[in-house]
A and B are shown apart, each in its own frame.
Chain A
Amino acid sequence: MKKIEVVQNVLEANETIASRNRQLLDKHNVFVVNIMSAPGAGKTSLVLQTLRRLRDKLNIAVIEGDVASAVDAEKVQNEAKAVVQINTRNMPESCSLMAIMIESALKDMPLDNLDLILIENLGNLICPAEFALGEHKRVVIASLPEGDDKPIKYPLIFVDADAVIINKMDLVSHVDFDIAAFRRSVAGLNPKAEVFEVSCKTGEGIEEWCSWILGQAKATATKQ
Chain B
Amino acid sequence: MHELGITENIVNITLAKADEAQAAKVLKINLVIGELSGFVADCIQFYFDTLSKDTITQGAALHFETVSPELRCRNCSAVFAPQDTVWSCPKCGSQSVEISKGRELYIESVEVE
Which A residues lie at the B interface, using CB under 8 A?
A: 1-14, 92-96, 98, 126-127, 129-131, 152-153, 155-156, 159, 184-185, 187-189, 191
Contact = CB atoms under 8 A, between A and B. Distances in A.
B37 interface: yes
B108 interface: yes
Interface string B80-101: 0000011110000011111100
Q: State the majority secondary structure of interface residues on B.
A: mixed
A6 B13 contact: yes
Q: Report the contact-size class of chain B (Cβ under 8 Å from the partner).
A: 35 or more
Contacts of B20: 4
B106 A159 contact: no
B111 A1 contact: yes
A5 B2 contact: no
Given A4-B21, A8-B107, 19 more contacts: A3-B110, A3-B111, A4-B18, A4-B20, A4-B23, A4-B112, A6-B106, A7-B109, A9-B105, A9-B106, A10-B6, A10-B13, A10-B105, A10-B106, A10-B107, A93-B2, A127-B1, A152-B87, A187-B95
Nearest to B94: A188
B103 A10 contact: no
A12 B20 CA distance: 19
Given A1-B27, A130-B38, A7 B108 contact: yes
B27 A11 contact: no
Interface in B50-103: 74, 85-88, 94-99, 103
A127 to B, nearest CB: 5
Interface of B: 1-2, 4-6, 8-10, 12-14, 17-18, 20-21, 23, 27, 31, 36-39, 74, 85-88, 94-99, 103, 105-113
10 contacts: A2-B112, A4-B20, A10-B9, A11-B6, A92-B8, A93-B4, A93-B5, A127-B38, A153-B85, A187-B95
Contact of B21 (A2, A95, A155, A187): A2
A191 B1 contact: no
B67 to A, nearest CB: 14
Given A93-B5, A94-B1, A127-B38, A6 B107 contact: yes
A191 B5 CA distance: 32
Among B6, B38, B96, the most chain A Cβ lie within 10 Å of the Cβ of B38
Given A92-B4, A152-B86, A2 B111 contact: yes
Given A93-B2, A155-B87, A1 B106 contact: no
Top 5 nearest A-B pairs (CB, nearest first) are: A188-B95, A95-B1, A6-B107, A93-B2, A92-B4
